[in-house]
Structure 1
Amino acid sequence: MSAALRIALAQCNPLVGDVEGNARMILEQVRTARERLDAQLIVFPELALTGYPPEDLLLRPSLHVQVETALAAMAPLIDDCHVVIGVPYRDEIGLRNGAVMLGGGREIARYAKRCLPNYSVFDEKRYFVEGTSPCVVQVDGVAVGLTVCEDIWFPEPARSSVDAGAQLLVNINASPFHASKYDERMATLRQRVVETGVPLVYVNQVGGQDELLFDGQSLVLDATGELVLRAPSFETGLYPVSPGEAAALAVMAPQEGLEADAYRALVLGVRDYVRKNGFPGVVIGLSGGIDSALTLAIAVDALGAEDVLAVMMPSRYTASMSLEDARIQCANLGVKALEIPIERPFQAFLGVLDPLLAGRPPDTTEENLQARCRGVILMAISNKTGRMVLTTGNKSEMAVGYATLYGDMAGGFAPLKDVPKTLVYRLAAWCNRDRAAIPERVLTRPPSAELAPEQKDSDSLPPYEVLDPILEYFVERDWSVGEIVAAGYDREVVERVVGLVLRNEYKRRQAPPGVRISSRAFGKDRRYPITSGYGRALR
């Protein structure tokens, strides 16, 4: 193929359902790509016109009217280049997840995605009908084969495109982020290039959509499988390339480690959830512990200190060092803070409940009352100010139910919902690498809910260094109790942890959404029944 074909990869962040707004964004990027980059072919991600995933919005006929209206309006404005846009469209067979090519002031071609994912977070067979044919279009003398996302994970769509004459494969994506996803993509893309012998352009979406987070990292491989371009992760932008040119002439964003990727994913996920839903800022209950400290740092990096409000709500069990550390962190980050002790509302609840509580020893009832006092205060501030409450619980706690319904689980978004406790510590240390975002003592003191005298997490749970691997094996890898025990873990501990995971599904079902960064997160990704006898057979 000719090295003269100048391609711009449009790594963009659409808003689901905002067809008009997304169309304006696309046209603006097309203008920029033409004026600044002299691009001949501009490629946008999967379903860029509707945003991904639109879920049951796809069942509404009005959405498809908007899509076709937008395409008809856009086509005459794209007359001096070719543009590939991901769109849903309906034909005589059914609804398609498609790629549309516009150019010369008209619509040139439509391609229907041939491989529809229906696993993990994907439900595409609920909405779409699979395509059956390749689509190859001439663009300034180069035969371009169109594919969509999952198509590239299987040999046939790429092979049939090349058999139909394609000299360049273009694959448009909305591929969600999780740790290690980049390596999986690269291995698959290189395999397709080895099989076909033609260059490959891979364009991925950026941004947060409810629980999902899209990392971008769009790629171009030449006909030998050599990486020619790697766009940055978690950033929008236009990235020019000619696949026949030397790799040195294109962008090559650096790869970062797990901590950097996870932290940036959490920041973008919070920013997009808050901003796309129109909230003016967030409010966070700041305890002086590591979870709320990391949540506060993420929120400040996502939104700016001026849009973050911290609330310290000490109880009779709150250690003085917790308040000190919380105050220091707010000062370090420039965050406005309120201090609202919960002793008075706690006493009021104890008084109201005295006929029930009298003569009975204190237990989790009194502990949960404190958490619920805090939840009421945070939600009242949210109502009055319009700020969204960010909850601070991590994946380890959510897995085993070490959280209080209508207490510390009350809120609109849970940034750490898919972050195990051991990774919380690693992210906090990474966050502190070039600044004092989190007081050092927060990273070193034993974690505690501080709802009872001298309480520590280890009183109720195995050490997190033991708990987190067990949770990973059971939740993310579907290992049995026997397999986990064979990996070196105590059977009694494993059975207890697995039992807690299964019993607390009802709590997780009532938890707010949070950013997915693992291969299997609670929520949209992992779907278990609340009412089940499965756990009875574990032993």
Structure 2
Amino acid sequence: MRRYLGYKLSSPLIYVNNSGVQNIGKNIIVFDGCSTVYNKNGLPIYEVPAHASGSFDFVYDDNMATITERAQEDDKELFTAVKSCIENFFSDVPLENRKVVIGQSGGIDSGTTAAAYRHVLGKDSVVCINMPMPESNPVLQEAAKQTAENLGVKYEVISIGDLVALEAKKMGVEIGSLSYENLQSRTRMNILATRAQQIGGFFTANFNKVEQAFGYGTLGGDMEGCLAILGDMVKREVYQLADYMNREVYGRQVIPQTSFDEAPTADLKKDQKDPFDYGNIKRRGYHDEMVRGFTEFRRSPEWFVEMYAEEKLESELILEPGTLRRLFPTSLHFLKDLEKHWKMFYGSYFKRIQAPPVLIVSRRTFGGDMRESILPAHFTKRYLELKEKLLNDPSDKIVVYGGSFNPPALHHCQIAKRLAQSFEKAFVVPCGDREDKPSTGQTSAEDRKELAKRAFGKIPGVKVDYWDLDNNYYSPAYLLDEVYKEKYPDKEIWHAIGGDLIIGGRNGKSQIQTIWKYGEKVWRNLNFVVIIRPEIEFSPEDLPPNSIVLSSDTLFGASSMLRERIANGDEVEKILLPEVWEYIKEKNLFGYKGEK
């Protein structure tokens, strides 16, 4: 813009920018300066050094040679901003109080924080404290110790297990509960605050922008401190800053490789991992870029859905190809994650407003730079329309409709037809012999194949998979899922089931969870199309985590009832296709004894 303006006016242009630091309470802003003089052609001929303050003399001449503008170095800019912020923050603090206490977990956030303060304040002004629970990761504990030793700062280990157990007992807090986890975080904060007061200094806040955006922190715990130097950096930027300090500031690896390699954790329970797709030095993370989208670029959920539907989201967020498929097997998974984090984003403002000052390093961050209100998350009419369209888009979706179909009734055909209209392909899978259903072995495989062919063979978009019948085998749901994912690796695989199978799901008592092989795993991981009939007492709370509902008209019941009607000579013409009924009569199947 500056170049264009100078060229358009055919006049020299002087761009003057702030330098130094501005403290506005909730935010600390570092200005890089770099005031520049442009000639009448809009080309730069003089630039003030980055972050320099003062008066600079310059005599303009039309014939002056142009210069190359300073290239942006993200990691260097991050470090310079952090360094300037810490220097400014402590400049008005008495010399004897320029000390910090840092909770040192061994992770990348606390290691980066320690390295930054050590560089600015000196080794004698930094105290690192590791506060493990009995189940804390020993690998990260060793990394915390190694970081402090590499920096030459004081290091303490204060175990908090007894303190947490005592308070949990007094408060009646259940071990393993969320309250128990938050109690650990607040206990650690109390230790840091106490030690800071003892030495006459401050304690730091180590949270990053992703954690702040989604409220992944505890008030009165890890969201407390004097200053959040990482509070406007997504995780990838924290890794960049840590790597830069190792290479350029210290010239050696003061932050150990373990801190880069170990999965980030809040260290509040055994084997805990942060629930985000973070970036690192090598790649961008989806939830990193989601936060940047929500804040810096003002992207709404509608934008995310539109880009996802057009298969542009990965390129727009500069993600590695395949990232979204890795994270979200289906569009339903994608939408659930988006809605979850939009709600978390809005639901965490009450934490952010009470958080310590944040250093600004992006175009828009929390605090005075980004005005927020304590309001619930809202999904616009446009978003709901896009969501419905995406879920109803049959492309890239395959549904597997398994059952005995012994015999296949008219309602089975109607369901298969509905499924074919909603999915790219619908596969009907008549099962082989089942121990829990002796009736499957009372009709020959050849007869069952012929019945399935007559019932489903002419329905557009429906294919019948005869593998089980041909091999006298029963493929349970988990195995069908594996088979179809292997056949169609780029498709979403869904499984059509009757609504009766999910009753009690909210309490872990559905037939899927209690009877099916690997039931709990199947319940959590498979995608289900739940077919609901009016006579089924259905509650949305019983639905599996990854499911959609397909409503059906009142239909005839189980195949066992149909077989009984055939054997008793009752009327069945209205609930069977004519060609299916003709074959049953021709072969005397299911106890058919001829016309009465």
Which category of TM-score, normalised to the shorter sequence, fits these structures?
A: 0.5 to 0.7
Q: Aligned-pair distance for 1:429?
A: 2.0
Aligned counterparts of 2:64 and 2:150: Cα–Cα separation in 1: 43
Deviation per CA, 1:324-358: give whole Å up to 9, x if none. Answer: 1111111211212222221232122112113xx3x
Q: 2:288 — aligned with what?
A: 468
State the shift of 1:494 in Å.
Answer: 1.1
Counting only pairs closer than 5 Å after superposition, residues 406-425 of structure 1 correspond to structure 2 as 406-425=220-239
- Following superposition, the deviation at residue 306 of structure 1 comes to 2.4
The answer to whether the 8 Å contact 1:310/1:330 transfers is yes
Change (3 A) 1:483 1:253: closer
Q: CA deviation at 1:455?
A: 0.7
Q: Give runs of aligned pairs for residues 136-151 of structure 1, distance below 5 A.
A: none
Choose between structure 1 and 2 for higher RCO, CA contacts under 8 A separated by at least 6 residues: 1
Could you tell me which residue of structure 1 aligns to residue 198 of structure 2? Answer: 384
What amino acid maps onto 2:117 in structure 1? A
Q: Which residue type is aligned with residue 317 of structure 1?
A: E
1:261 paired to 2:105? no
Match of 2:150 among 332, 340, 345: 332
Where does 1:117-156 land on structure 2 (aligned, <5 Å)? none
d(CA) in 1 for partners of 2:170 and 2:63? 75
Q: How does 1:168-179 map to 2 (within 5 A)?
A: none
Structure 2 alignment gaps of length 5 or more: 280-284, 309-323, 325-333, 385-596
Are 1:214 and 1:234, in contact at CA under 8 Å, matched by a contact in 2?
A: yes
Please say if residues 502 and 535 of structure 1, whose CA atoms lie closer than 8 Å, have aligned partners that are also in contact: no
Deviation at 1:248, TM superposition (A): 6.9
Aligned to 2:92: 276
Whole-angstrom CA distance in 2 between matches of 1:321 and 1:477: 38
- Letter paired with 1:423: E
Would you say the 8 A contact 1:190–1:221 is kept in 2?
no
1:229-262 alpha-carbon deviations (Å, 9 max, x no partner): 2222234355432222875799x88434111112
Which residue of 2 is the match for residue 367 of structure 1? 181
- Following superposition of structure 1 onto structure 2, how do residues 178-197 of structure 1 map, counting pairs within 5 Å? 187-188=1-2, 191-192=5-6, 194-195=8-9, 197=11
Shift of 1:414: 0.5
Match of 2:221, SS state, is coil
Alignment match, 1:519: 363
From 36, 41, 48, the counterpart of 1:231: 48
Q: Does 1:398 align with 2:212?
A: yes
Following superposition, the deviation at residue 223 of structure 1 comes to: 3.3
Aligned to 2:256: 439
User: Which residue pairs with 2:243 in the alignment?
Assistant: 429
Structure 2 counterpart of 1:323: 141
Distance 1:188 1:239, change over 3 A: same
Among all aligned residue pairs of Structure 1 and Structure 2, give the percentage whose two residues are the same amino acid: 28
Q: Name the residue aligned to 1:485.
A: 305
For the 8 Å contact 1:372–1:407, the answer to whether it is kept is yes
* Pair 322,388 (structure 1): closer, same or farther in 2 beyond 3 Å: same
Task: Quote the offset at 1:523 in angstroms.
Answer: 0.6
- Per-residue CA shift, 1:90-146, capped at 9, x if unaligned? xxxxxxxxxxxxxxxxxxxxxxxxxxxxxxxxxxxxxxxxxxxxxxxxxxxxxxxxx
1:309 is displaced (CA, Å) by 1.8
Q: Which segments of structure 1 move beyond 3 Å, counting only runs of 4 or more? A: 235-240, 245-250, 252-256, 276-279, 461-464, 531-539
Within the candidate set 528, 532, 536, 2:372 is matched to 528
Structure 1 distance, partners of 2:23, 2:34, is 17
Out of 271, 287, 294, the position equivalent to 2:112 is 294
Matches of 2:206 and 2:175, distance apart in 1: 29
Determine if contact 1:283/1:389 at 8 Å carries over to the other structure: yes
In structure 1, how many angstroms separate the alpha carbons of the residues matched to 2:287 and 2:43? 41
Distance across 1 between alignment mates of 2:18 and 2:125: 30
Verify the 8 A CA contact 2:20 2:32 in the aligned structure 1. Answer: yes
Measured in 2, the distance between the counterparts of 1:492 and 1:249 equals 53
Question: 2:265, 2:274 within 8 Å by CA — same for their partners in 1?
Answer: yes
d(CA) in 2 for partners of 1:190, 1:407: 50
Change (3 A) 1:373 1:241: same
Aligned to 1:80: none
1:534 counterpart SS class: coil
Equivalent residue, structure 2, for 1:505: 349
- Matches of 1:315 and 1:331 in 2, distance apart? 22
The structure that has the greater radius of gyration is: 2
Q: Would you say the 8 A contact 1:228–1:247 is kept in 2?
A: yes
**What CA distance in whole angstroms lies between the structure 2 residues aligned with 1:311 and 1:195?**
59
C-alpha change, 1:478 and 1:201, in structure 2 (3 Å) is closer
Q: TM-score, normalised by structure 2?
A: 0.54
Q: Do the aligned partners of 1:231 and 1:253 also contact (CA within 8 Å) in 2?
A: no
Q: Secondary structure at the match of 1:229?
A: strand
Give 1:341's aligned residue.
159
* 2-structure distance, mates of 1:408, 1:303: 22
Query: Matches of residues 197-212 of structure 1 in structure 2 within 5 Å?
Result: 197-200=11-14, 202-210=16-24, 211=27, 212=29
> Structure 2 CA distance, aligned partners of 1:404 and 1:532?
20
Letter in 2 for 1:491: L
What amino acid sits opposite 2:82 in the alignment? L
Instruction: Name the SS for the 1:309 alignment partner.
Output: strand
Unaligned runs of 5+ in 1: 1-186
* Contact kept? 2:100, 2:125, Cα under 8 Å: yes
Identify if the C-alpha distance between structure 1 residues 485 and 249 changes in structure 2 by more than 3 Å, giving closer, same or farther.
Answer: closer
* 1:10-58 Cα distance to aligned partner (Å, 9 max, x none): xxxxxxxxxxxxxxxxxxxxxxxxxxxxxxxxxxxxxxxxxxxxxxxxx
- Residue matched to 1:303: 121
**For 2:206 and 2:4, how far apart are their aligned partners in 1?**
40
Alignment correspondent of 1:33:
none
Closer, same or farther: CA 468–198 of 1 in aligned 2, 3 Å: same
SS in 2 for 1:234: coil
Deviation of 1:463 after TM superposition, in Å, equals 5.0
The code of the aligned residue for 2:59 comes to S
Alignment of 1:213-224 (within 5 A): 213-224=30-41
Cα distance, 1:415 vs. partner? Answer: 0.5
Q: Give CA deviations for 1:48-92 in whole Å, capped at 9, x if unaligned.
A: xxxxxxxxxxxxxxxxxxxxxxxxxxxxxxxxxxxxxxxxxxxxx
Deviates more, 1:295-304 or 1:417-426: 295-304
| Amino acid aligned to 1:269 | C
Superposition TM-score, scaled by structure 1 size: 0.60
Q: Take 2:377 and 2:266, find their aligned partners in 1: how far apart are those partners?
A: 31
SS where residue 220 of structure 1 aligns?
strand
Pairing 1:17-166 to 2, within 5 Å after superposition: none
Measure, in 1, the Cα distance between the counterparts of 2:63 and 2:154. Answer: 51
**Deviation of 1:430 (Å):** 2.2
1:283 aligned counterpart, secondary structure: strand
Decide whether aligned partners of structure 1 residues 196 and 281 sit closer, same or farther in structure 2, where only a CA change above 3 A counts. farther
